[in-house]
């Protein structure tokens, strides 16, 4: 007997096999606006590659088959090797092969940072773990360029677009990856609490050899060919930054011993570890006493990547939610036709485009960085955007799971992975409070930079009552005494980001998007606590917003 209890219908598979760029008008507009049209052929190809079912499956496999630590070989010799699934290597090769690691530094064309941000944004929609080593490798380039002996050794390997997964000394490799080591058990984000000690082999000084002894509580990713590590010079001495390779110059394995891999909530494809330095060999970068300043410069770049990565998560969550809601039927019609669901989807679409327009403005600032306003975008708005956009991704990936219902609350598809992935960008490179304090420190050091940023936004803000009121509020808060402003840090930073997003959308997005964002974020209904979809859509062009978010 052929048993058939029911037919399967009204089940909607996740969206795959689509062009991530062609279906994103806001992204295409940003590329043209910033003069990055020269990169469109390459980015279009990568967008199609990322959208293929095969790439989605690679991402799923890389996260299902997590890295494994092999501390010793069969005869007890210490090897500290991490084994990855082949899907990890394929995804790493895809990204490296696009030249995105070195693009902003190797290329001199206008729009290079926008082109890079687009490539990162496309990759991050499908798989985020592989972007961790890519982020750190990219961020170390400007630091290493200031160290001529190291740059002579490493420069061509950092600029290489070849993927070389071999575990060999740097001199024998075609390309390399570089990580970073800051966090220790007792300090977390408070790097000044670190206790790892570096002792000079000879006289010491810039470019000289040191031996490091201590630990790192989060060391990502341990199979990188080298790490930039913060340590004290001598017990209780000044902080310095050191280049610590996986292999010593004589070909022996460096004494960076992996204790274990972290069993993380998300970011499963990527390996994060705890390590101990047993007199690990390293080279001093810069001057003694400048270590925290050096590593914070690196973090400025990696924080931008957190913003782009979370924006990518928001975009993919939105796309999956809209695609699902258009095909899934309940109570007699498609979910996307239900008024309350349309409010949720429209709210998510506004958040996604606001994140995109902000990250692209930040990318332009990294390319220029030649005026007080540009430096303010880079120095103040980057941590502000990291605070806000990363938190929005955490909330709205949860909302996406709810759109899909039980189908979203499983790990077989991408939506559950997006939800688990989202929090890492809020935590890595400094939690929300750390970002707010960083903004306030920048404000205290360079109040003129904040004034320059507000002055840039003023011509747009002063034409809109809601934006004008927010601008006036921020202008007053800038003059608040630092000790009083710290308690208001989250309010201040949130208002900074919303003002920037509102002004940027008014400048660059269709009126239906800008009007809706300003009304729902700054109007009376947007004040105070709110949840996604708790917006008044009367008077908003919801069909136009959703069609722009994902054209049919």
Which CATH number fits the domain that encloses residue 210? Answer: 2.40.110.20
Q: Are 210 and 200 in contact (CB under 8 A)?
A: yes
Other Cβ atoms closer than 10 A to 144: 20
> Are residues 192 and 337 both part of a single domain?
no
3-state DSSP assignment of residue 418? helix
Other Cβ atoms closer than 10 A to 61: 16
- 234: alpha, beta or left? (left if phi > 0; alpha if psi -120 to 50): left
How far is C-alpha 426 from the chain's CA centre? 9
Considering only CA atoms, which of 505, 528, 524 is closest in space to residue 457?
A: 505
> Are residues 378 and 523 both part of a single domain?
yes
Structure confidence at residue 527 as a pLDDT band (50, 70, 90):
low
The CA distance from 69 to 273, in Å, is 9
Other Cβ atoms closer than 10 A to 482: 10
The CA distance from 189 to 217, in Å, is 11
- 479-502 pLDDT, tens digit per residue, is 888 888 999 999 999 999 999 999
Q: Are 265 and 286 in contact (CB under 8 A)?
A: no
Considering only CA atoms, which of 385, 220, 191, 400 is closest in space to residue 306?
A: 385
How far is C-alpha 178 from the chain's CA centre? 17
The CA distance from 355 to 362, in Å, is 11
Q: Is residue 9 part of a domain?
A: no
Q: Is residue 165 part of a domain?
A: no
- 138-174 pLDDT, tens digit per residue, is 999 999 999 999 999 999 999 999 999 999 999 999 9
Structure confidence at residue 446 as a pLDDT band (50, 70, 90):
confident
Q: Is residue 307 part of a domain?
A: yes
The CA distance from 414 to 6, in Å, is 27
For the chain, count helices (H), then strands (E). Answer: 21, 11
- Look at residues 242, 262, 288 and tell me which one is the last residue of a structural domain: 288
> Are residues 326 and 280 both part of a single domain?
no
Q: Is residue 7 part of a domain?
A: no
- 503-519 pLDDT, tens digit per residue, is 999 999 999 999 999 99
Other Cβ atoms closer than 10 A to 195: 15
Q: Is residue 413 part of a domain?
A: yes
Q: For 408, phi and psi rounded to 5 degrees?
A: -85, -20
Helix 291-327 to helix 414-421 angle (10° resolution) is 150
pLDDT of 449 above 60:
yes
> Are residues 101 and 249 both part of a single domain?
no
pLDDT of 360 above 80:
yes
The CA distance from 412 to 530, in Å, is 30
Q: How many domains does the chain have?
A: 3
Which of 116 and 525 is assigned the larger pLDDT? Answer: 116
Helix 131-144 to helix 112-124 angle (10° resolution) is 160
Which CATH number fits the domain that encloses residue 345? Answer: 1.20.140.10
Token pair of 224 as six digits? 């990188």
How far is C-alpha 520 from the chain's CA centre? 26
Considering only CA atoms, which of 400, 363, 346 is closest in space to residue 547?
A: 346
> Are residues 247 and 228 both part of a single domain?
yes
> Is beta strand 239-245 parallel, antiparallel or unpaired with respect to 272-285?
antiparallel
pLDDT of 526 above 70:
no
Q: Are 344 and 514 in contact (CB under 8 A)?
A: no
> Are residues 341 and 255 both part of a single domain?
no
Token pair of 223 as six digits? 């199979």
- Look at residues 159, 183, 202 and tell me which one is the last residue of a structural domain: 159
Q: Is residue 193 part of a domain?
A: yes
Q: Are 282 and 229 in contact (CB under 8 A)?
A: yes
Vertex 348 angle, CA 25 and 270, to 5°: 85
pLDDT of 56 above 90:
yes
Q: Which residue has the tokens 């239906």?
A: 512
> Are residues 313 and 282 both part of a single domain?
no
- 273-318 pLDDT, tens digit per residue, is 999 999 999 999 999 999 888 888 899 999 999 999 999 999 999 9
Rounded to an integer, the average pLDDT of 237-262 is 97
What residues have CB less than 8 Å from 150, skipping those under 6 apart?
Answer: 144, 207, 243, 283, 285
Q: Are 42 and 118 in contact (CB under 8 A)?
A: no
> Are residues 129 and 276 both part of a single domain?
no
Other Cβ atoms closer than 10 A to 32: 12
Rounded to an integer, the average pLDDT of 329-335 is 95
Q: What is the DSSP letter of 13?
A: P
> Are residues 525 and 497 both part of a single domain?
yes
Which of 500 and 369 is assigned the larger pLDDT? Answer: 500
Rounded to an integer, the average pLDDT of 434-445 is 93
> Are residues 119 and 245 both part of a single domain?
no
Structural domain range at position 241: 170-288
Q: Is residue 8 part of a domain?
A: no
Measuring CA to CA, how many Å separate 123 from each of 76, 114, 205, 423? 39, 14, 40, 18
Compute the radius of gyration of the chain from its Cα atoms.
Answer: 24
Q: Is residue 274 part of a domain?
A: yes
Q: What is the DSSP letter of 15?
A: P
Q: Are 214 and 233 in contact (CB under 8 A)?
A: no
Q: What is the DSSP letter of 378?
A: I
> Which pLDDT score is estimated for 156?
98
Q: Which residue has the tokens 């770049």?
A: 301
- Look at residues 159, 186, 213 and tell me which one is the last residue of a structural domain: 159
Mean residue pLDDT across the chain: 95
Handedness of CA 526, 542, 340, 16 (dihedral sign): negative
> Which pLDDT score is estimated for 528?
47
- 165-224 pLDDT, tens digit per residue, is 999 999 999 999 999 999 999 987 788 889 999 999 998 999 999 999 999 999 999 999
Vertex 452 angle, CA 451 and 457, to 5°: 95
Other Cβ atoms closer than 10 A to 535: 22
> Are residues 397 and 534 both part of a single domain?
yes
> Are residues 430 and 324 both part of a single domain?
yes
Count of residues in the chain: 552
The CA distance from 226 to 230, in Å, is 13
Q: Are 460 and 467 in contact (CB under 8 A)?
A: yes
Q: Tell me the DSSP string of 80-105.
A: EEEE--HHHHHHHHHHHHTTTTTHHH
């Amino acid at each position: 007997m052929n048993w058939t209890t029911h037919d399967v219908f009204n089940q909607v598979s996740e969206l795959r096999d689509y062009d991530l760029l062609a279906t994103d008008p806001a992204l295409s507009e940003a590329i043209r606006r910033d003069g990055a049209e020269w990169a469109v052929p390459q980015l279009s190809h990568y967008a199609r590659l990322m959208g293929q079912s095969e790439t989605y499956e690679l991402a799923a496999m890389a996260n299902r088959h997590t890295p494994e630590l092999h501390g010793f070989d069969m005869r007890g010799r210490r090897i500290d090797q991490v084994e990855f699934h082949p899907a990890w290597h394929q995804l790493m090769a895809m990204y490296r092969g696009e030249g995105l690691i070195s693009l902003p530094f190797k290329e001199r064309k206008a729009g290079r940072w926008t082109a890079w941000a687009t490539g990162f944004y496309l990759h991050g929609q499908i798989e985020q773990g592989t972007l961790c080593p890519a982020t750190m490798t990219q961020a170390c380039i400007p630091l290493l360029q200031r160290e001529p002996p190291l740059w002579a050794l490493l420069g061509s390997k950092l600029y290489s677009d070849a993927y070389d997964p071999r575990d060999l000394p740097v001199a024998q490799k075609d390309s390399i990856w570089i990580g970073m080591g800051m966090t220790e058990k007792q300090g977390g984000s408070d790097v000044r609490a670190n206790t790892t000690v570096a002792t000079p082999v000879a006289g010491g000084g810039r470019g000289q050899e040191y031996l490091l002894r201590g630990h790192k509580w989060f060391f990502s990713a341990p199979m990188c060919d080298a790490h930039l590590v913060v340590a004290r010079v001598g017990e209780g001495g000044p902080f310095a930054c050191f280049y610590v390779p996986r292999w010593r110059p004589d070909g022996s394995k460096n004494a960076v011993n992996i204790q274990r891999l972290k069993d993380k909530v998300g970011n499963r494809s990527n390996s994060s570890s705890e390590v101990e330095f047993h007199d690990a060999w390293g080279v001093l970068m810069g001057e003694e006493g400048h270590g925290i300043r050096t590593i914070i410069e690196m973090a400025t770049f990696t924080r931008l990547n957190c913003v782009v990565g979370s924006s990518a998560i928001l975009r993919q969550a939105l796309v999956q939610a809209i695609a699902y809601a258009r095909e899934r039927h309940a109570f007699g019609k498609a979910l996307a036709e239900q008024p309350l669901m349309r409010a949720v989807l429209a709210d998510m679409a506004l958040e996604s485009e606001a994140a995109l327009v902000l990250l692209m403005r930040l990318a332009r600032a990294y390319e220029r960085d030649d005026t007080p306003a540009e430096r303010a975008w880079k120095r103040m708005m980057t941590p502000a955007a990291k605070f806000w956009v990363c938190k929005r991704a955490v909330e709205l990936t949860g909302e996406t799971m709810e759109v899909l219902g039980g189908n979203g609350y499983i790990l077989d598809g991408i939506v559950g992975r997006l939800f688990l992935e989202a929090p890492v960008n809020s935590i890595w490179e400094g939690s929300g409070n750390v970002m707010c304090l960083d903004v306030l420190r920048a404000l205290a050091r360079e109040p003129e930079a904040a004034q320059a940023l507000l002055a840039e936004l003023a011509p747009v803000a002063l034409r809109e009552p809601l934006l004008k009121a927010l601008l006036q509020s921020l202008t007053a808060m800038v003059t608040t005494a630092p000790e009083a402003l710290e308690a208001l840090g989250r309010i201040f930073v949130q208002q900074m980001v919303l003002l920037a997003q509102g002004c940027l959308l008014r400048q660059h997005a269709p009126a239906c998007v800008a009007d809706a964002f300003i009304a729902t974020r700054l109007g009376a209904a947007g004040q105070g606590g709110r949840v996604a979809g708790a917006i008044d859509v009367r008077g908003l062009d919801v069909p136009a917003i959703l069609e722009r978010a994902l054209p049919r």
